[in-house]
């Protein structure tokens, strides 16, 4: 009887592993993860904290640091960058920058995001921090801020290290965290799904190595990577029916495998997640009213200014709640459409999204007689 119990337990174990871990058990990849972008909830993970070489997925952090410098006003995407001798000598995937050539930050970011240009990454790093080594310090600082505990960067490009140097290390989990931050920059996602783009006044063609570009519905990037040590890697983002998922596959055996496994994992994630429409349309009435001080009427009606849709596991769709953040009262007069607060969608106290709340009509100041008769 104990032997039978053991066999049943083993069968149940294998059953529950399938199909989630089937690919990993068959050696299709070394590690993988699927994460819901808005909440950061992990839907599936296999060896997600294994520290592996991320290859060119390192460039997501290079791109993020540059974009965040631009967001803070420390540079603009139209700033001009002069290519150094060092940047022109970087090997591997490149756009063949020549010493003394001048490009905009935007052009080099596109070369980085689309073509995975190592030389473009070095040129950007030098422009921001003076040297690529100084830029790597910024990369590691940002990684710590994001809680990427499995990650240490030694380069801006992810190339295999020279003798005596250390390899970049990260994990599927940390690459997904980094992918979430990249999703805050729409221009990056737009570049990441471009298939072919002219560069250097049409003399060179940027080609996207992502095998899913033009093939996966809702694809939004993000970054491929490959070295002999790292294998074929891919961090992808995709949105379907209002739900955005991020997947990471590391150590796949072939380019085709990283594409097919990414597609499979995302498809599985989308079957588990469901969009929940909390506010169908802009202008929909809010069930709350707000007290008015000094107005013709005692309360004012409210509307939502835009739709609100969030993604949650299907089994939890009915557990999403709206929490209202409104002042105790407003003072008359006030214009129609004036934003007075917001509603926050939450699941177990964790915010999933929010929508502004505005006055549905103008709030008119009351007269002396209004105040008398209101009593």
How far does CA 300 lie from the centroid of its chain?
A: 38
Is 93 among the residues known to form the active site? Answer: no
Q: Which of 158, 185, 205, 193 is nearest to 64 (CA)?
A: 185
Task: Out of 31, 116, 155, 263, pick the active-site residue.
Answer: 116
DSSP string, 249-292: EEEESSHHHHHHHHHHHHHHHHHHEEEEEEE-STTPEEEEEEEE
Residue found under tokens 């990454």: 121
Q: CA distances (Å), 276 to each of 170, 315, 356, in order?
A: 34, 12, 18
Helix (H) or strand (E) holding 358: strand 350-359
The CA distance from 300 to 292, in Å, is 7
Write phi, then psi, for 192 (nearest 5 degrees).
-65, -15
Q: Cα 220–222–228 angle (5° rounding)?
A: 145
Q: Yes or no: say if 247 and 272 are a contact pair by the CB < 8 Å rule.
A: no
| Max CA separation in the chain (angstroms) | 89
- CA angle at 119 for the pair 122 and 138, rounded to the nearest 5°: 20
DSSP-based three-state secondary structure for 163: coil
Q: Is 116 a catalytic residue?
A: yes
CB atoms within 10 A of CB 54: 30
Contact 206, 197 (CB under 8 A): yes
| 277 catalytic per annotation | no
Query: Active-site residue among 30, 59, 223, 342?
Result: 59
- Say which of 31, 56, 247, 263 is annotated catalytic: 56
Q: Which residues are catalytically annotated? A: 56, 59, 116
């Amino acid at each position: 009887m104990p032997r039978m119990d053991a066999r049943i337990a083993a069968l149940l174990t294998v059953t529950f592993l399938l199909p989630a871990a089937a690919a990993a058990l068959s050696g299709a990849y070394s590690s993988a993860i699927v994460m819901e972008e808005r909440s950061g909830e992990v839907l599936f993970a296999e060896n997600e904290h294994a520290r592996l070489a991320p290859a060119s997925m390192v460039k997501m952090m290079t791109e993020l640091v540059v974009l965040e410098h631009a967001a803070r006003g420390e540079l603009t995407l139209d700033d001009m960058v002069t290519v150094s001798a060092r940047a022109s000598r970087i090997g591997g995937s490149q756009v063949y920058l020549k010493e003394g050539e001048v490009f905009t930050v935007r052009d080099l970011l596109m070369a980085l995001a689309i073509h995975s240009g190592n030389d473009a990454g070095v040129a950007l790093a030098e422009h921001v921090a003076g040297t690529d080594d100084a830029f790597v310090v910024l990369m590691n600082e940002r990684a710590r801020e994001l809680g990427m505990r499995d990650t240490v960067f030694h380069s801006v490009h992810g190339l295999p290290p020279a003798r005596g140097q250390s390899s970049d290390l990260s994990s599927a989990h940390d690459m997904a965290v980094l992918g979430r931050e990249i999703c805050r920059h729409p221009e990056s996602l737009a570049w990441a799904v471009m298939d072919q783009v002219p560069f250097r006044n049409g003399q060179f063609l940027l080609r996207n190595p992502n095998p899913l570009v033009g093939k996966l519905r809702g694809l939004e990037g993000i970054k491929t990577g490959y070295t002999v040590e790292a294998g074929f890697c891919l961090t992808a983002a995709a949105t379907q029916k209002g739900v955005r998922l991020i997947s990471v596959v590391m150590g796949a055996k072939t380019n085709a495998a990283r594409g097919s496994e990414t597609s499979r994992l995302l498809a599985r994630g989308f079957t588990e997640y469901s969009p929940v429409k909390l506010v169908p349309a802009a202008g929909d009435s809010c069930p709350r009213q707000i007290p008015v001080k000094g107005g013709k009427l005692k309360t004012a009606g409210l509307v939502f200014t835009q739709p609100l849709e969030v993604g949650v596991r299907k089994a939890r769709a009915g557990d999403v709640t709206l929490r209202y953040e409104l002042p105790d009262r407003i003072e008359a007069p006030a214009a129609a459409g004036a934003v007075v607060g917001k509603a926050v969608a939450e699941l177990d106290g964790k915010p999933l999204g929010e929508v502004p709340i505005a006055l549905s009509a103008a709030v008119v100041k009351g007269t002396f007689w209004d105040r008398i008769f209101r009593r």
